[in-house]
Structure 1
Amino acid sequence: MGMGIDGLASGLNTTDIINALMNAAAIPQTQMKTKVSTDTYLLNALQALNTKFAALTTQAAALAKPDGLAKYQVASSSAAITATLSANAKPISLDLSVTQLAQAHSVVTAPLQQWPSSPPVLTFVKNGVQTEITPESDSLDDVAYAINKSAAGVSAVKIAAGTDGSGNAQYRLQITSSDTGSAGTFSIYQGSAADVTAGTAPALAGTTVLRAGQDAQVKMWADTAAEQIITSGTNTFTALAPGLDITVHQLSATPVSLNVTRDASQVTTAAKDLVSNVNIILGSIFTQSAVSSAPGATGSAAVTAGLFTSNSTTSSAKDRLFTAVVSPVNGLSPATIGINSTKNGDFTFDADAFAAAYAKDPALVESTLQTIAGRVADAAKAVSDPYDGTLSQSIKGQQTVINDFNDQILKWDDRLAQRRSALTTVYANLEVQLGRMQSQQNWLTSQISSFDSASSSKK
């Protein structure tokens, strides 16, 4: 902040004078700042609206695809099998019998006090892969630790196994494959991987197989000429049929029925959500285009325009979206599937009417809804496309205007700073000149007083 120069010689409040002159000089910049604030508020509203249109484009385009309304549900007749569906599911009915569950291969060693060889070297062979393991000692804890730390794909647990004839504590190692299925079956050899390859490493003596690794099995089309056994390394069978995954939980002597059917409730929900999101956009444009009035200072009504009042881009977007929904499809009104227009310029959705129409003719209802969704997607894309969408282009233009004003405001900052500096210099010089003039006046006054005094004394 510069040094104040108020009233050094003139007694004038020069700071207030300069500030008043600066306020007058800054009027164009102030007007530009007000314009930027107003335009930024509008820009934010347009961007929010554009985001809604873009989301609607994605939603409607997905429904308009050939399989966009492929909504299905699956039912199982038994807890022995549960099923899930993916996007490409198709209607189907299957009868399956669970004849075998997947299990992990597991063995247990003979009762031991320590590993039978020292230093211990053992090799696991699993699915054709050899993994050599060298524990730090023959301690069963060290052996279990080395097994668990290795890449053999198995885990080991030390379990108490009573005492030997001398009362010494004994333990067994229970070793289990980390994955289920026949591919998880493993063998244990006493010796290095090289010894196993050479055929000189003996199998670990005294081991007992607790569970043999096995695949899960289901029987399809049982007792027919087409009977088929399907296996899986886990209890889950992926893509057993298009879009159908199953998990088996228990054996079933009686075939389990799986039925994949159309899910009318999901289709109804999809239609409801589409109408709801259309209404959100229409309501947003309507609300921000409304003109409000309130009593003014003089008692007369003061009219305030909305952000989108007289905005042709948003008005055109609203009309295009409304037309996309309300227009007939093959001569049929959308009201036939529960989509009704209102006097407010939006829509209501009658879920009961839609469900009734769907139950009567699902193909016709899906075709009608997909046509509407396709038109909505086209209308929303024409508005929100980032390259040539009407609203996107309007946003870019608005941003350009704001950027230009901000550039001008920055230039005005420099201009006004120079103006203030010039005014400060002028008034500082004025004070200097007035000071000099006052000094001269004081000198002349003193000289005149001296002359008058001299004249009086001679008399």
Structure 2
Amino acid sequence: MTSSVDGLVSGLSTSSLIGQLMQVEAAPQTKLKTKVKTAETAVASYQSVNSKLKAFKAAADDVSKLSTWRSTKATSNSSSVTASTTTGLVNTAGSVTFDVKSVARAQTTTIKLPTNTTSDSNNDGKLEKTPVNLGASVTVTMGKYDENGNFTPATPAKSVTLDLTKGSSAQDIAGKVNSAGLDVRAFVVNTSDTEGILQFTGSKTGEDFGFQVTGLEGLGLDTNGNAGASPASTYAKNATLQVGGEGEAGYTVSSATNTFSGLIPGVTVNVTKEETGVTVSAATDISGITAKIQSMVDAMNATLTEVKDQTAYDSSTKKGSPLTGDFMVRQMTQSILGMVSVGMAKYPNPRYDKDLPVDETTNPKELTFPEQSLNKLGIQLSRDGLLTFNATDFTNAYNENPSRIQEVTQAVATNFSALADKQSKSVTAVITGRKNEIDSINDQISNWDTRLASRREALQRQYAAMETALGNMKNQSSWLAGQIASLG
């Protein structure tokens, strides 16, 4: 790379001169960089508007979904019974009354065993504990108990035999049961230095998760500490509900857990204790519906505000915003507000059967909304150009005619979603075009970097050559002056 040193002969600041010349040479590239910066600012503004449009569409889609209108809210008249709902198309309003006959529980089997012996084996007056070897071979079998306590092994068989002859303390039994891979856990509760309770507990509730422990018969201690006791069990059982009384119209439902999900479609019931006269009800979740409509209105206002900010013009400073002159963006406000002001005169009939002839009485393709104005739905234009939503007005209208208001609101939301989607696609196309333009300009800027580097190098060679030529001329001048002086 050629370099130059400020004029040693000419006295000129050649680096400064080259810098000034390069500024002139780089003027086209500077314009391109400014153009890129302006385009990038516009793209960022388009993206900001587009994000609001997408949020608007998503909120409108939520309102138009059937699952929104099928959502229910569950209540219970009992503090020991809770009811909750899930969002889905199967949700149904209704109520059910039942008695909680039993709650689900896991099996528990216990036996009192000697755990340690104490002795002064070193004759030093200090007692030492030694685990008691029970000499047992314990078998744990999974299965089910009937009402009379008769056990039926599970099919396929799930049974584990633990050979404990080499180490069969109560702690050993618990540890090996826990490592057996069954739905049973075991532990020892020490009740004294020499005795404890070996407890087996099912890890799941429900009558299908019972178990039988054999091999410990006669090894336990009774309440007086005498040997000969066997394990005692509290059997696993299901939660049971008696619905509609015990007459012919009543029926019983059971669950391995304390949770029931089929009493009312879309409602989950959880019981915690036996109780009579429990009523669970599910009603349309109006508050949930109005919350989604409010979200849609908020998203519409956010879009209108963003468009206003991105296209604003300050007449006092005569300064515009990034998208001030963009007609497409400015037109969005008129389109949204126009759709609100027009309202809903007709909307698609959701029950229209395309396989039958169109009949305005029995099978109309469109339905008429007499009020037309969206005021009936609680949606109004305010003086500041934004929208308001009155949940109370909407609720009153819904309670008067639920099916009609649902149809109209879904149709309105569908129209808004379509509008937002159309506008978003237009903005996306503009963003894509601007980004392609930026990429093209950046390629030109990169090419200018190469051209300017070559030009700088050429100027540096030119001024270096000039300094060399001036130096030679200076040397020749000095030589001639010397020759002339010698002739005198």
Q: Secondary structure at the match of 2:198?
A: strand
Q: Which residue of 2 aligns with 1:154?
A: 184
Counterpart of 2:281, as a letter, is: N
- Residue 2 of structure 1: CA displacement? 6.8
- Structure 1 residues 12 and 305, CA, compared in 2 at 3 Å: closer, same or farther? same
Q: Which residue of 2 aligns with 1:53?
A: 53
The reply to whether residue 143 of structure 1 matches residue 165 of structure 2 is no
Q: As a proportion of its length, which structure holds more helix?
A: 1
The reply to whether residue 173 of structure 1 matches residue 190 of structure 2 is no
Q: TM-score, normalised by structure 1?
A: 0.86
> 2: distance between equivalents of 1:326 and 1:334?
8
| Superposed CA offset, 1:286-322 (max 9, x none) | 111110134xxxxxxx411212212133223333333
Q: TM-score, normalised by structure 2?
A: 0.81
- Residue 24 of structure 1: CA displacement? 0.8
The gaps in structure 1 that reach 5 residues or longer are 164-168, 192-204, 295-301, 453-459
| Superposed CA offset, 1:340-375 (max 9, x none) | 113443212223322332333333332222121101
Q: Which residue of 2 aligns with 1:117?
A: 135
Structure-to-structure mapping, 1:2-401, within 5 angstroms: 3-88=3-88, 89-113=91-115, 114=132, 116-117=134-135, 120=137, 122-126=139-143, 127=154, 128-134=157-163, 137-162=167-192, 169-190=194-215, 206-253=229-276, 255-294=277-316, 302-330=317-345, 331=370, 332-384=372-424, 389-401=425-437
- Structure 1 residues 159 and 317, CA, compared in 2 at 3 Å: closer, same or farther? same
Counterpart of 2:78, as a letter, is: S
- Structure 1 residues 214 and 37, CA, compared in 2 at 3 Å: closer, same or farther? same
- Structure 1 residues 412 and 239, CA, compared in 2 at 3 Å: closer, same or farther? farther
RMSD over equivalenced CA pairs, Å:
2.2
Task: Determine if contact 2:2/2:457 at 8 Å carries over to the other structure.
Answer: no
Q: Which residue of 1 aligns with 2:118?
A: none
> 1: distance between equivalents of 2:133 and 2:385?
84
Counterpart of 1:354, as a letter, is: F
> 2: distance between equivalents of 1:2 and 1:25?
18
| Superposed CA offset, 1:99-145 (max 9, x none) | 00001001012423345326x55343344422344567213222212
- Residue 447 of structure 1: CA displacement? 1.0
Equivalent residue pairs, number: 421
| Superposed CA offset, 1:69-110 (max 9, x none) | 233211111113110101132101111110000010010124
- Structure 1 residues 3 and 121, CA, compared in 2 at 3 Å: closer, same or farther? farther
- Structure 1 residues 62 and 270, CA, compared in 2 at 3 Å: closer, same or farther? closer
Q: Which moved more, 1:371-380 or 1:327-336?
A: 327-336
- Residue 434 of structure 1: CA displacement? 0.9
| Superposed CA offset, 1:32-68 (max 9, x none) | 1111111111111211221222222222123212333
- Residue 173 of structure 1: CA displacement? 0.7
Task: Determine if contact 2:108/2:201 at 8 Å carries over to the other structure.
Answer: yes
- Structure 1 residues 235 and 122, CA, compared in 2 at 3 Å: closer, same or farther? same
- Structure 1 residues 316 and 207, CA, compared in 2 at 3 Å: closer, same or farther? farther
Q: Which moved more, 1:414-423 or 1:153-162?
A: 153-162
Counterpart of 2:264, as a letter, is: A
Task: Determine if contact 2:76/2:280 at 8 Å carries over to the other structure.
Answer: yes
> 1: distance between equivalents of 2:456 and 2:74?
79
Q: Equivalent pairs: percent with the same residue?
A: 27
